[in-house]
Amino acid sequence: MADLLAGKVAIITGGTSGIGLASVERFVAEGAQVVVGDIQDDLGKQLSERLGDSVTFLHADVTREEEIAALVALAVDQFGRLDVMYNNAGNQGDASTLVDLSADGFDKTMSLLARSVALGHKYASRQFQAQKSPGSIISTTSVAGLQGGWAAASYTVAKHAVIGVIRHAVAELSSAGIRSNAIAPGTIMTPIMARAFGVPLDEASDFSEFLSERLGPKLPIGRVGFPEDVADVAVFLASDLSRYVTGTVIPVDGGATAITQGTFGVDVVAAANEYLSKK
């Protein structure tokens, strides 16, 4: 593939690490100009310097509505238009079980993972309509948005809510040529995976390698996923190849949610604990 996104302007939130970073790199390789929103300023500056004029970084906390609006305004100011909004920013959220859930922890998780997606739709679709042009909105959900048991309660609820947003967007926005789709990553080796288990970031690579060895053979496709696996799907959804695709949720999970996985969710925790016990 080459130049699938030539001439397109995209916003990618959470674009300085993990899935977001891989997506920024792929979008640029395919010819897009990208506004990256993230709270990791040092990484954002390094990314802009490395990728040059194709990337503009803006500090953006997506739990703040005005900062989502600012990303759209910057894209238009810097590149003249907007074609793709990729709502990707997130973290593991509140780790409490349902019986220990706090309203504050739940609300913060929902704000980051679900409300930000709704507001990303709001400001991107306003710009698409102002341009009188079609547009693509992509949002990161999770296998935890498809099934229970993959993650903590707040995260699971929030990721289910993301799917609600994209399906409602079809009802409201399709007549304006605006498409909305979601990607549901499975076991993807990102820094979030390490942080979720309290593994220091300088050990994230070792942790990922350990999990890959333990968990890969348990997945139908025989390996764990990597950020690039998700980024390739994001390119498809951003490009005109998916011009007749909207309201879909694409699992990028190696087939995990296609079959009954039995104890896989428990296996993830057990493997992580085995790693930590050796330290």
Report, as residue numbers or ranges, the catalytic residues.
155
Beta bridge partners of 64: none
Q: How many CB atoms lie within 10 A of CB 106?
A: 18
146 φ, ψ (degrees, to nearest 5) = -110, -30
CB 224 within 8 A of CB 189: yes
Can you list the pairs that 261-268 forms with residues at least 24 positions away whose Cβ atoms lie under 8 Å? Answer: 261/218, 264/215, 264/218, 264/219, 265/149, 265/150, 267/214, 267/215, 267/218, 268/187, 268/211, 268/215
Q: Which residue's structure tokens are 């498409």?
A: 179
CA dist 239 and 237 (Å) reads: 6
